[in-house]
Chain A
Amino acid sequence: KNEVEQSPQNLTAQEGEFITINCSYSVGISALHWLQQHPGGGIVSLFMLSSGKKKHGRLIATINIQEKHSSLHITASHPRDSAVYICAVKNTGNQFYFGTGTSLTVIP
């Protein structure tokens, strides 16, 4: 069993829809990261959070430490949001664990 589980694995949405990607983890963490990976491109860090909620533009990330769960929301989705979104956690031993990613396709 992976330390980090993401759902869904694949997601197709119409432009303008509200999107939610979920991440659950089983280890004690010091921080959780949401990453974005475009086809053929490198990985970009979107958020790093250890509690509460962060917002950047149309992206919102929340974390519930007690439930070991985080969500990434995209409001008013756009085709350029199409990418793989990866949840990664850093455990208390300073090791990173990565989820397998959620492949998002936003259709115009």
Chain B
Amino acid sequence: EAGVAQSPRYKIIEKRQSVAFWCNPISGHATLYWYQQILGQGPKLLIQFQNNGVVDDSQLPKDRFSAERLKGVDSTLKIQPAKLEDSAVYLCASSSLQGVGEKLFFGSGTQLSVL
């Protein structure tokens, strides 16, 4: 079974530039999450999709971050414009079950450095 695919693996940009990350979840997984993990901290939820609808985006900085999952499969996360404090690993995760039995499958992440 193929895992969660993310690209690019690494990205270096200057502040005020734009950047986009891509995620392809495990086939059949309806739920997709984007997390931001700053060095030394645990993952922080940015947005949760159920199919192509947004379930929770309460912690997404909507003035600069946007995400979409138009066909309910793969998803893109965009930052425009980037700030220095956006330097982090951006993790995508998917799951097939909701409720008690939900198990998350994570991608390898995209490591973003904003200079």
Chain A nearest CB from B29 CB (Å) reads 13
* Residues of B that sit less than 8 Å from A by CB: 3-4, 33, 40-45, 56, 91, 93, 98-109
Interface residue SS majority, chain B = loop
Q: Report whether B91 and A43 are in contact in the complex, using a CB–CB cutoff of 8 Å.
A: yes
A41 to B109, CA, bound (A): 8
A86 within 8 A of B: yes
**Which one, B93, B102, B106, B109, contacts A90 given CB within 8 A?**
B102
**Which one, A31, A44, A50, A95, contacts B106 given CB within 8 A?**
A44
A45 to B4, CA, bound (A): 13
A94 within 8 A of B: yes
A31 to B105, CA, bound (A): 16
* Residues of A that sit less than 8 Å from B by CB: 4, 30-31, 33, 35, 41-45, 48, 50, 86, 88, 90, 94-96, 98-101
**Which one, A31, A41, A43, A100, contacts B102 given CB within 8 A?**
A31
Give the nearest-CB partner of A43 in chain B: B106
Most buried by A among B42, B101, B102, B103: B42
Q: Report whether B42 and A48 are in contact in the complex, using a CB–CB cutoff of 8 Å.
A: no
A101 to B104, CA, bound (A): 17
**Which one, A30, A42, A88, contacts B100 given CB within 8 A?**
A30
Q: Which residues of B contact A43 (CB under 8 A)?
A: 43, 91, 93, 104, 106
Whether A98 touches B43, Cβ cut-off 8 Å, given contacts A43-B106, A45-B105, is yes
A42 to B91, CA, bound (A): 8
A45 to B33, CA, bound (A): 15
Whether A42 touches B104, Cβ cut-off 8 Å, given contacts A4-B42, A98-B44, is no
Q: Which residues of B contact A50 (CB under 8 A)?
A: 100
